[in-house]
Amino acid sequence: MSEMPESLMKSIFRGEIPEQLVFPYPRIDPDEADMVRIIQENLLRWGAEHHDAARADAEGKYPDSTFKALAELGFFGWNIPEEYGGLELSMTGFARIYSTVSELDGSLPVILGAHASIGLKGLLLYGTREQKRKYLPDLASGKTIAAFALTEPGAGSDAASIQTRAEKQSDGTWLLNGQKMWITNGGYAGFFTVFANTAVEINGETKDKITAFIIEADREGFSRGPEEHKLGIKASSTTPIYFDNVVLPPENLLGEVGKGFKVAMHVLNSGRLGLAAGVVGGSKALLKVAIEHVKQRRQFGRPVVEFELIKEKISRVAVNTYVAESMVYLTTALVDRDDVDYSLESAICKVFASERGWQSINDTMQMMGGLGYMQEYPFGRIMRDARINQIFEGTNEILRLYIALAGLQEPGEYLKQLGHALRGPIKGFGFLADYAFTRVKGAVTRPHLARAHPALRKYTAYLTRSVEKLHLSVNSAIMKFGHRVVDRQLMLQRYADCAIDIYGMLAVISRVTGRLEEVGPKEAQIEHDMARIFCEGAWNRVRRNLRQIRRHEDRPVRRLADHVAQQGWYNFPL
């Protein structure tokens, strides 16, 4: 194993556990922690005194005073360097504050995330010194709001299908035409990171490649469409934007010509992680409201909180939130290292947090009983707001495929080379899959996790066995299906779910190990209980998913779906 692997989770797919990226569980810098705490306190104080989430949802917008207050609190410049007027927070500090914002309502973090997590992130990562000097001061102060424009009517997750086009002119300028849809902050942003197809010469042949550009809203030919009417996050702005012969000077190019896809993916990694942090904050706020209610509500002569079915829900929400939080801050530490590929981990955090957060909304709403359905409580609004989390920043279905395929890439390359060494293409192993699986299994050394606390030995064993089983199953699948593995989406989903559970176990074991070492088993009993609850469930899910790689009902599922789709509706006689 290399001393510093480029990706924690890609190492997991190789059957290795890079402990140096997991232990000790990361802690925020003490000086930054003090700053973050002050910002959080100021935010919550302002929220309690001035923020009316229900009114903003009903009116479909925030008052100007909200933007002014956020600017004064420095919220538009969290991740912008101090030399340009920002706070220059680490990703860990950023995520902590973003989580607190999400305790107030669902639209506010969407606006701030679209601005800081993705809208101006490309400028931070790929902008020139001159571009940063020109734009960042106004972006940090809130004078200018940023937005990210990738999605089009015919191009969502399939970014390669975008039709917006930038043609280079003889004088070095670019002529931009096209449209984007569902652009958060589209109604008032003044700075847009926009992606367009451009002609690039590769080996003497002209091909279309995506390129990133900076576009100011005051450019001639730029226009905005009407506000979209959304199910939730109603106080945020979502509009289409249009480009009609917009002339862009050469200095508005962001990064290199033809390298825009890389810019977009790097930016979205940040956005997914911010989203996951926001879900953590929202879940905490909901649990607090629900617990206050079940403590006061009495039925059959005692508080509802004493009933086991309510305790189960409280426990489930707490565990889901704890695991998501553990995963998020293990990942933000990888980002802050600046020497590790965190793309898989970011996608995993987004999928886990958005789905478990949705479950937590359902559980807390159920704990409220009929009151949870009433508009005077925030559950209905938050449920509408939260549903988007499984869709934007990459749908969870697409992210699952990405997690699995990116994880399979390195084992696939190794086995491809092995196949060539044995004078045969990898697909030639198909009929020998079971034999190959046995041979590979015998050659693999079981992954080791030495730095976990001894009190977590049982869950550490679950983790290492899960890593081993995943690695062996992946190798077998690649040898059996070869390049056809790309089309086995139900199988890839199971691998992704295994990876998600494994990363959850890693994060929780690391975090609880830190607590056990810090305060001892007695004081850390509750954290130990959460590790037990999650790891037991995760181990069972991993085993079930890997069993279903070989024994599944995928064929009848496909046949049924094809039948219903062909009929066009549910058509089964009684």
Q: Which residues are designated catalytic?
A: 393
* CB atoms closer than 10 angstroms to residue 359: 14
Q: How many residues does the chain have?
A: 574
CA distance 51 to 548: 49
CA distance 277 to 275: 5
Residue 277 tokens, joined:
């942090």
CA distance 187 to 290: 35
What percent of the residues of the chain are helix, what percent strand, and what percent coil, each to the nearest 5? Answer: 65, 10, 25
Positions of E strands within 296-342: 298-299, 302-303
* CB atoms closer than 10 angstroms to residue 417: 11
- Which residues pair with residue 302 across a beta bridge? 299
Q: Is residue 462 within 8 Å of 435, Cβ to Cβ?
A: no
CA distance 396 to 334: 22
- Number of helical H runs and strand E runs in the chain: 18, 10
Q: Is residue 502 within 8 Å of 466, Cβ to Cβ?
A: yes
Q: Look at residues 456, 546, 458, 457 and name the one whose alpha carbon lies nearest to residue 501.
A: 546
Positions of E strands within 185-281: 191-202, 205-216, 222-224, 238-248, 253-254
3-state secondary structure 14-57: CCCCCHHHCCCCCCCCHHHHHHHHHHHHHHHHHHHHHCCHHHHH
Q: Is residue 139 within 8 Å of 85, Cβ to Cβ?
A: no
Q: Residue 111 is inside which H or E element, if any?
A: helix 107-112
DSSP 188: T
Strands 146-149 and 191-202 come out as parallel
Q: Is residue 400 within 8 Å of 499, Cβ to Cβ?
A: no
CA distance 325 to 279: 9
Residue 273 tokens, joined:
């992680």
Write down the H helix ranges in 214-307.
Answer: 260-296
Q: Look at residues 187, 287, 268 and name the one whose alpha carbon lies nearest to residue 230.
A: 187
